[in-house]
Structure 1
Amino acid sequence: MRDLDSADITEEVISAMAGTEDPRVAQILDSLVRHAHDFVREVGLTEEEWAKGVDFLTRTGQLCSPQRQEFILLSDVLGVTMLVDAINHRREGKATENSVQGPFFREDRPSRDTGDDISGGIPGAPLFFDGQVLDEDGEPVAGAAVDVWHSDGSGHYDVDVPGLTQPAMRGLFRTDAQGRFAFRSVRPASYPIPGDGTVGELMKATGRPLMRPAHIHLVIEAAGYQRVTTMLFPSDDLYLDQDPVFGVKQSLIADFATHAAGTGPHQQSTDEAYTAMQHTFVLDPLSRR
């Protein structure tokens, strides 16, 4: 291990890890070292650039907290999150496609009954959502757990609303015998990803926009079926083709239909203009994994 140069150091590093007992860990580390070293050689990385890279990663870690995960956001904007998802969740047939979970999921979300208002009193244009969960044969999936969360009409999640102490615009539902669930809330809006940290620096340096299209997050789980982590995007959103985290898929673009006050399917439930949407989710069996 002496007198190593740029040509032979890679094999020496890999050889030094030969005692790794877990074969999968050994495979990952082998590939990581080879790709990292090849990257350094390919771009001819300078000492100044290396130091800047270390500083960037250090500051990224320092920004992380229970409320903020800058490394996940970095993974998102580099397309790594969606790449991992694409490799691990190849849906077939009519099955609902996956998308990124994002940083705003909360374990302490309240359980809700179908039809509940989950807005938490947050002001905004009313939204009425009717969903159904089916299997690949079109049969309803009863008792499925459906997690829902989304932003308000200003693009803020409950964790970003000053003075709000209770969860809002989120809830855990169970589908009925027909696989149905429903809720009332406020229509979400597009919003920028955090631009005040290292990811913001990267986005600015590469001339990329911060705005995410509006969306509703859902996670659906049921015994015997593959878990689905997904989103629904309004078909009229201006940012569908420049999502900084690459989460938009054509099958996940939905009609967020706007109705004038006193018209449409929920005219008895509000005296305002509102959005009504319906969507069917199809689950893949575990046997197909």
Structure 2
Amino acid sequence: MPRIDYFTEANSVEAVNARMGEATDPRLREVMAALVRHLHDFVKEVGLTQREWEAAIDFLTRTGQLCDAERQEFILLSDTLGVSMLVDAIAHRRPAGATENTVFGPFHVDGAPELPMGSCISLDGKGESCRYTGRVLDLEGRPLAGARLDVWSDNSEGFYDVQQPGRQPKWNNRGVFVTGPDGRYDFVGIKPVSYPIPDDGPVGKMLARLGRHPWRPAHMHFLITHPDHERIVTHTFVSGDDYLTSDAVFGVKEALIVDYRKATAGDTTWQVDFDFVMVGARDD
């Protein structure tokens, strides 16, 4: 008869991992074995009590109950624990000079209108107007034609249009722009403002218990795609924002902080210029 290893505190990891079948997918086996090992080590390290285990189960249950088509509390939990940014950093290791990724965020909407360069994406006319300009380049500094920039931001009150249906026009502060041979982009939006992530659920309560705030620093979102290059999911952050060093979701990278300068020409209040550098597509 095969040897039977009954579960004990000392051999808990081995006992659980030994139950996996021989036909288990190798990658699934690797991931689950490591998960069990680290999870059991954590429980042993902190001496998790029965009451604490029950509180954790209740927390996860309430987190799941709050998830629906409009809200993903588990992603918010991942964001606030720095897991989302860590996964993104591992998945998008890029050479020096390439634009860095950051979190995608929950407020992107497919199907935003494609607009001519120079168009204004602020449909409600509120907020401090800002002209966004720059180029999309490859690693050698050559302009990329046909780069697609999908851009979006909050409004002057810190809300995205999908958070205020009926109050904000559809596609407010959203648009898509495609570069020509010079690789340049140019559009008018508003200077974004800081805003809190949803903090009325389990994640918000967790942050409060940890003495953490729910705020994100002001930023403009960019999703940049090109047929021959890796996509970029990133923000440009407003320099001097109060929350740059304490972003609730750890999304700030120093290279993405830009100066929003008072405009000296044109009809906007602010001006910001930023070049995006794309990496050639790699074979999987």
User: RMSD across aligned C-alpha pairs, in angstroms?
Assistant: 1.6
Paired residue secondary structure (1:64) = coil
- The residue number in structure 1 matching 2:177 is 173
Q: Contact (CA 8 Å) 1:154, 1:188: kept in 2 or not?
A: no
Q: Contact (CA 8 Å) 2:150, 2:177: kept in 1 or not?
A: yes
Stretches of structure 2 that go unaligned for 5 or more consecutive residues are none
Residue 222 in structure 1 maps to residue 226 in structure 2? yes
Number of residue-to-residue matches in the alignment: 280
Q: Contact (CA 8 Å) 2:222, 2:235: kept in 1 or not?
A: yes
Paired residue secondary structure (1:241) = coil
State the one-letter code of the partner of 1:32. Answer: L
Q: Contact (CA 8 Å) 2:6, 2:15: kept in 1 or not?
A: no
**Counterpart-to-counterpart distance in 2, 1:170 and 1:65:** 23
**Counterpart-to-counterpart distance in 2, 1:133 and 1:2:** 59
TM-score by length of 2: 0.94
Deviations 1:209-240 (Å, cap 9, x if unpaired)? 11111000101111221111111011121111
**Counterpart-to-counterpart distance in 1, 2:18 and 2:235:** 44
Stretches of structure 1 that go unaligned for 5 or more consecutive residues are none
Change beyond 3 A, Cα 1:288–1:2:
closer
Q: Contact (CA 8 Å) 1:122, 1:152: kept in 2 or not?
A: no
Change beyond 3 A, Cα 1:189–1:87:
same
Residue 199 in structure 1 maps to residue 231 in structure 2? no
State the one-letter code of the partner of 2:274. Answer: H
**Counterpart-to-counterpart distance in 2, 1:33 and 1:58:** 20
Change beyond 3 A, Cα 1:15–1:3:
closer
- The residue number in structure 2 matching 1:33 is 36
State the one-letter code of the partner of 2:178. Answer: R
1:91 to partner: Cα distance: 1.9
**Residue 275 of structure 1: which of 255, 266, 270 is its match?**
270
The sequence identity of aligned pairs, in percent, is 46
- The residue number in structure 2 matching 1:54 is 57
| Stretch moving more, 275-284 or 112-121 | 112-121
**Residue 242 of structure 1: which of 243, 246, 256 is its match?**
246
**Counterpart-to-counterpart distance in 2, 1:131 and 1:189:** 21
TM-score by length of 1: 0.92
- The residue number in structure 2 matching 1:285 is 280
Change beyond 3 A, Cα 1:52–1:20:
farther
Q: Contact (CA 8 Å) 1:220, 1:227: kept in 2 or not?
A: yes
Deviations 1:178-197 (Å, cap 9, x if unpaired)? 11121112221001111101
